[in-house]
Amino acid sequence: MPINLSVNLNKVALLRNSRGGTNPSPRIAGVTCLDNGAYGLTLHWREDNRHTRADDVRVLRALCKERGAEFNLEGDGREELVALGIELAVTQFTLVPTRPGEITSDHGYDLPRQHGEIAPTIARLKAAGIRTAIFMDANPEQMAAAAATGVDRVELYTEPYAAAWGKPQLKAELERLKATAKAAVAAGLSVNAGHDLNLRNTPLVAREVPEIVEASIGHALLADALYIGLAESVKRYVRACHGEAVDAPVTC
């Protein structure tokens, strides 16, 4: 089965915020993504509003509902974020751990140590009929502990795999992803993936880790869009998520 592509539009909001206006529009970008094959849209609303804001969440949730697409809301478990996800009945809520000063997400939850921190939030979201996911490092030994939280899915942190591209450790990182995905399924979980996936490294994951059902891709897709256009970028990432080799723009 191909991986479903959910496009993270945070960087569109970041560019808009840099000038304080309304251009570029996350909604118009979202329409383009859905028109060109994206399965859904993702937003990670951080407390500092560095890119996505609450009104973006409302607007893109409405767009996805209108278009029959999935909407994935990401972030920590703070009350305003969870309450908004429940109010809007988002399709999926992905809990992602954060630490002060981080540029981007760079680690998964440490389970079972953080069980008590996230299990009540997962229960609350599931009671509202929302599919839940948690961001986890690729570690097979933690998948049983992840399942014990009551979550529906894990999103595997793929940056170590991406960083190993073209290096001797690539095989080991890919095997770690494969083993973790198998352990997750054995524990009764579905598997998502995300972070630093791009046109070069996504096809291999799609072919070698069939357990992955969804990938959230934002930074690389939108960076490529600067060179080849957003519509074409989405089309190529959809193909990559089907395991096809696709041309990647030369970016450096």
Q: What are phi and psi of 20, to 5 degrees?
A: 75, 10
Residue with tokens 């994951």: 205
Peptide bond into 24 cis (omega under 30): yes
Q: Catalytic residue among 155, 159, 173, 195, which?
A: 195
Q: Which amino acid is at 134?
A: I
For residue 242, indicate whether it is catalytic.
no
For residue 219, indicate whether it is catalytic.
no
For residue 115, indicate whether it is catalytic.
no
Q: Catalytic residue among 51, 70, 74, 155, which?
A: 74
* Helices marked H in the chain: 10-17, 26-35, 54-67, 79-88, 115-127, 143-147, 159-163, 170-186, 202-208, 219-228, 230-241
Peptide bond into 112 cis (omega under 30): yes
Catalytic center residues: 44, 74, 195
